[in-house]
Structure 1
Amino acid sequence: MVPPAQRLPQARLLIDMDRYFVLHAPRQTGKTTALQTLAAELTAEGDIAALMFSCERAKSVGDDYAAAEEILLKSLRQATEWAGWPEELLPPETWPQAPAGTRFGSALTAWCHRCPRRVVLFLDEIDALQGNSMVSILSQLRDGHNARPGGRPFPASVVLCGLRDVREYKVASGGEPGRSNPASPFNIVTESLRLGDFTADEIAELYDQHTRATGQEFAKDAVDRVFELTQGQPWLVNALAYQITVGLGVTGTITAEQVEEGKERLIRARASHLDSLVARLHEPRVERVIEPILAGTWPAIDSSFDDDVCYVHDLGLIRGTRELEIANPIYREVLLRVLGSRTERFVQADPHTFVLPDGRFDLERLLEEFVVFWREHGEVLVRQEGYHEAACQIILMAFLHRLVNGGGRLDREYAAGTKRLDVLVRWPYTGPEGERLVQREAMELKVWRAGGDDPLPQGLAQLDLYLDRLTLSTGVLVIFDRRPEAPGWQDRGAFEQATTPSGRQVTVLRV
């Protein structure tokens, strides 16, 4: 475990200043572990009674704020009992009688009046509170916070911990994200901290703990590849190492190639963390942000788009809020596989028939088979695909995945505004002298949309740069025609040869 204090240096400072603040991060990034450790450290120092408890069970009662108060107070009391604290730090045996909508605040006052130490509360899974329940609890925290200068006993510091940033809680509690409202429960929140992903050095530190405990080492190129694939997302960093050491049963030094194998096992396993992200893909707010990333188009921006981007960023699906890119290569691959699962069921070709006698992959035949597939199923699949603007890219990616992934790998690069999707097929095979070789084939996907110019010139220039970066001499440019005046589906699928600006000969497929 990377030490929590190292990941949250500001949290202790804010607590010492008696601040109320938000700590947010995507799921499975270590929020709960960090807060548990921080609470234990603060309490052990002797001046603070720091308690973390979860609001998750209150999700089931929705707007029933009276029931939510009851659940939260039971969770709070249970957490103090599990903490093993001495009697003088515990809440009163019975909570004071108070009307619904004030019970939570009254209970905290009674506890702080009794406790000889400053009370610090970490409300984990605060996102579980919904509607009126959230408004009620947060309003009571605001009222208690504001009454402290008048002598009311109340927690010295409160940390609201969940997926969302302050602006999202403002929306959830009925306010406007960009405006300050004196009646909002959030006018007391002074900071919003985001628990970040691991750095490359922190991954090395984490894996070094495994080495010290077991003697098994990670080669430097393996650690570097883990960072490239995960971009430091904590759950992925740990799950990938688990798949390698336990799933694959690797006992010696772990190599970059074994990291690749572990990544495939991890994606195929579709653990709950990945499934929870996938379940979000068809939320309108998420689709509105993710679709232009997949399609390479500029999103339609209005007054609410920034809020949607922040929401998707808080979920951990995108890297930042300015450059719209999927957070890491593993998520990038999972998203396209999931969205293309419907298409994969239509692909009947046998992957083994695309392997040439010398062991290389027959990309030319794959493209010819895709033309047949596109003519037969393309119209139906494009119409059925939820991500309509990115449907062509999703369908071709699913076709490639079905036929390549058994023996090779696909690397995909895409981002909003690029007007393209880049694909690299990597196919390992054995050379004539028994040496291990890797065939690499690069493709670029473009879409000719209504009212636009033929993307061929731009596509050739972009493919040229991609091939130059990969040090390849040839590639494939696929142009999907989405114009109303496009040829009929049975007439699509023309091949031609073209030359890039630097003189590379490439194959162009128009479908």
Structure 2
Amino acid sequence: MLPPAPRLPEARTLIEMDRYFVLHAPRQTGKTTILDTLASELTAEGDTAALAFSCERAKAAGDDYPAAESLLLDSLREAADLSGWPKKLLPPGAWPQVTPGSRFGAALSAWCRRSPRRVVLFLDEIDALQGNSLVSILSQLRDGHNKRSKGYPFPASMVLCGLRDLRDYKVASGGDPTQFSSASPFNIIADSLRLGDFTAGQIAELYDQHTQKTGQQFTKDAVDRVFELTQGQPWLVNALAHEITSTMQVTGTITTCQVDDAKERLIRARTTHLDALAARLHEPRVKQVIEPIVAGTSPGTDIAFDHAASYVHDLGLIRGTRDMVIANPIYREVLLRVLGDRTERFVRADPHSFVLPDGRFDLARLLEEFVVFWREHGEVLIQQEGYHEAACQIILMAFLHRLVNGGGHLDREYAAGTKRLDVLIRWPHTGPDGERLMQREAMELRVWRASANDPKPEGLAQLDRYLDRLTLTTGVLVIFDRRPEASPWNERGDFEQATTPSGRQVTVLRV
């Protein structure tokens, strides 16, 4: 485990300044570990009683704010009792009997009044509070915070920790996120910190701890591959290493091949973390952001889209609110596999029949089979696809996945505003002399939409750049015709040969 505190040095500074602030990050990134460590370090220094406790129990209360107060106070007392502190630092034996809606604030004040140290609180899983309960608790915190200047005993610093940023708490409690009035319980927050992902150096440091303990090494290329696949997402970094060392039980030096195998196993198993992210895809705010990313269309420019993008970023699904790209290659693959589940059930072709006698993959036949599939099922699948704007890309990706992924790999690149989705098929096979070879086939997917020009010229230029980056001499450009005047479904599927601006000969498939 990496030392938690150096990952968020600003938190310590804000606490020392007696600030109230939000710490947010996607799930499984180390928030709770950092809070527990900060609480222990601050308490050990002798002038602070710092306590972290979870608000998760209060989720069951919903809008019942008196019940939420009781559940929070139960969690707080339990955490204090388990802390091992001397009795003088613990909260009072009985909470003040006051009107519901003010009990939580009164309890904190009573504790601070008797504590010989400054009290610092970390409210973990603050997302669990909902509606009126969330408003009630935050209102009490704001009231106590503002009365501190008049000598009112209240926690010196407080950290609200959860998945979401401050603005989204206001949305969750029914407020207008664009309005932060003086009476708002949300305006006490001095700052909002987001816990970042691991750097490549931190991954190397983490894996080196395993090497020091067991003697088993990761090659530098393997560590670099982990960073490439995860972009430092902490759960994925740990899950890949655990899959390799514990589940796959690799005993020698760990290489990039084993990292790739572990990645595929995690995706196929659809572990809880990945499944939880995938379950979000049909939330309206998530779909609003992910659909233009998959389709390559331009994202929205209004305030509602900005708020949706912030929410999806807080979930950890996208890298930033401006780039509009999926956070890492593993998420990128999981999202398309989940969205393509329905289509895969329609694919009846035998994957083994696409392997040529020399062990290579028969891409030409796959394209011909896709034309047959598209004519038969395309219209129905597009109508059924929830991500309507990205339906063509999702359907072809599902078809490829069903037929390629048994013996090969699919690498996908897509982002909002690019007007395309790039695909690289990697197919390992054995050469005539027994050597291990890797067949690579590149494809670019474009959509011809209503009132737009034929995307072929721009597609050829972009495919040319993609092939140049991959050092390949040929590729495939697939153009989906979504115009009202497109040919009847049973006539679609024309192949032609074309030349890219640099002179590469490529295949163009129009469907």
Secondary structure in 1 matching 2:242: helix
Q: CA deviation at 1:245?
A: 0.8
Alpha-carbon distance between aligned partners in 1 of 2:348 and 2:57, rounded to the nearest angstrom: 46
Alpha-carbon distance between aligned partners in 2 of 1:415 and 1:322, rounded to the nearest angstrom: 11
Give yes or no for contact 1:175–1:184 (8 Å, CA) kept in 2. Answer: no
Alpha-carbon distance between aligned partners in 2 of 1:148 and 1:328, rounded to the nearest angstrom: 44
> Aligned residue for 2:214?
214
Q: Match for 2:120: what amino acid?
A: V
- Is structure 2 residue 423 aligned with structure 1 residue 427? no
Secondary structure in 2 matching 1:508: strand
Alpha-carbon distance between aligned partners in 2 of 1:298 and 1:312, rounded to the nearest angstrom: 17
Superposition pairs of residues 429-448 of structure 1, within 5 angstroms: 429-448=429-448
Alpha-carbon distance between aligned partners in 2 of 1:491 and 1:225, rounded to the nearest angstrom: 44
Deviating 4+ runs (over 3 angstroms):
173-176
> Aligned residue for 1:502?
502
Alpha-carbon distance between aligned partners in 2 of 1:210 and 1:410, rounded to the nearest angstrom: 30
Q: CA deviation at 1:5?
A: 1.2
- Is structure 2 residue 385 aligned with structure 1 residue 385? yes
Alpha-carbon distance between aligned partners in 1 of 2:450 and 2:364, rounded to the nearest angstrom: 29
Alpha-carbon distance between aligned partners in 2 of 1:339 and 1:233, rounded to the nearest angstrom: 22
> Aligned residue for 1:492?
492
Q: Match for 1:500: what amino acid?
A: T
> Aligned residue for 2:114?
114
> Aligned residue for 1:473?
473
Alpha-carbon distance between aligned partners in 1 of 2:283 and 2:180, rounded to the nearest angstrom: 28
Q: CA deviation at 1:170?
A: 2.5
> Aligned residue for 2:271?
271
Q: CA deviation at 1:114?
A: 1.2
- Is structure 2 residue 234 aligned with structure 1 residue 242? no
Q: Match for 2:12: what amino acid?
A: R
Q: Match for 2:343: what amino acid?
A: T
Cα RMSD for the two superposed structures: 0.8
Residue identity over aligned pairs, in percent, reads 78
Give yes or no for contact 1:175–1:181 (8 Å, CA) kept in 2. Answer: no
> Aligned residue for 1:305?
305
Q: Match for 2:484: what amino acid?
A: P
- How many residues align? The count is 511
Give yes or no for contact 1:65–1:136 (8 Å, CA) kept in 2. Answer: yes
> Aligned residue for 2:37?
37
> Aligned residue for 1:149?
149
> Aligned residue for 2:76?
76
Q: Match for 1:395: what amino acid?
A: I
Once the two structures are superposed, residues 76-112 of structure 1 have per-residue CA deviations (whole angstroms, 9 ceiling, x without a partner) of: 0000011111111111111110111000000001111
Q: Match for 1:108: what amino acid?
A: L
Alpha-carbon distance between aligned partners in 1 of 2:175 and 2:378, rounded to the nearest angstrom: 45
Q: TM-score, normalised by structure 1?
A: 0.99
Q: TM-score, normalised by structure 2?
A: 0.99
Give yes or no for contact 1:222–1:259 (8 Å, CA) kept in 2. Answer: yes
Give yes or no for contact 1:63–1:132 (8 Å, CA) kept in 2. Answer: yes
Once the two structures are superposed, residues 413-451 of structure 1 have per-residue CA deviations (whole angstroms, 9 ceiling, x without a partner) of: 000000000000000000000000000000000000011
Alpha-carbon distance between aligned partners in 1 of 2:372 and 2:326, rounded to the nearest angstrom: 31
> Aligned residue for 2:282?
282
The gaps in structure 1 that reach 5 residues or longer are none
Alpha-carbon distance between aligned partners in 2 of 1:490 and 1:293, rounded to the nearest angstrom: 29
- Is structure 2 residue 460 aligned with structure 1 residue 464? no
> Aligned residue for 2:341?
341
> Aligned residue for 2:398?
398
Secondary structure in 1 matching 2:282: coil
Q: CA deviation at 1:304?
A: 1.1
Give yes or no for contact 1:170–1:184 (8 Å, CA) kept in 2. Answer: no
Once the two structures are superposed, residues 14-51 of structure 1 have per-residue CA deviations (whole angstroms, 9 ceiling, x without a partner) of: 11110000000000000001111111111111111111
Give yes or no for contact 1:56–1:128 (8 Å, CA) kept in 2. Answer: yes
Q: CA deviation at 1:180?
A: 3.0
Alpha-carbon distance between aligned partners in 2 of 1:109 and 1:296, rounded to the nearest angstrom: 53
> Aligned residue for 1:205?
205
Q: CA deviation at 1:176?
A: 3.3
> Aligned residue for 1:19?
19
Alpha-carbon distance between aligned partners in 2 of 1:341 and 1:171, rounded to the nearest angstrom: 32
Secondary structure in 2 matching 1:158: strand
Superposition pairs of residues 88-237 of structure 1, within 5 angstroms: 88-237=88-237
Secondary structure in 1 matching 2:406: coil
Alpha-carbon distance between aligned partners in 2 of 1:95 and 1:46, rounded to the nearest angstrom: 25
Alpha-carbon distance between aligned partners in 1 of 2:379 and 2:247, rounded to the nearest angstrom: 41
Alpha-carbon distance between aligned partners in 2 of 1:206 and 1:303, rounded to the nearest angstrom: 40
Superposition pairs of residues 358-373 of structure 1, within 5 angstroms: 358-373=358-373
Secondary structure in 2 matching 1:187: coil
Which stretch of the first structure deviates more once superposed, 83-92 or 428-437?
83-92
Secondary structure in 1 matching 2:327: coil
Secondary structure in 1 matching 2:187: helix
Q: Match for 1:289: what amino acid?
A: V
Q: CA deviation at 1:174?
A: 4.0
Alpha-carbon distance between aligned partners in 2 of 1:161 and 1:256, rounded to the nearest angstrom: 36
The gaps in structure 2 that reach 5 residues or longer are none
Q: Match for 2:316: what amino acid?
A: G
Alpha-carbon distance between aligned partners in 1 of 2:430 and 2:246, rounded to the nearest angstrom: 28
Alpha-carbon distance between aligned partners in 1 of 2:175 and 2:96, rounded to the nearest angstrom: 31
> Aligned residue for 2:54?
54
> Aligned residue for 2:356?
356
Superposition pairs of residues 1-20 of structure 1, within 5 angstroms: 1-20=1-20
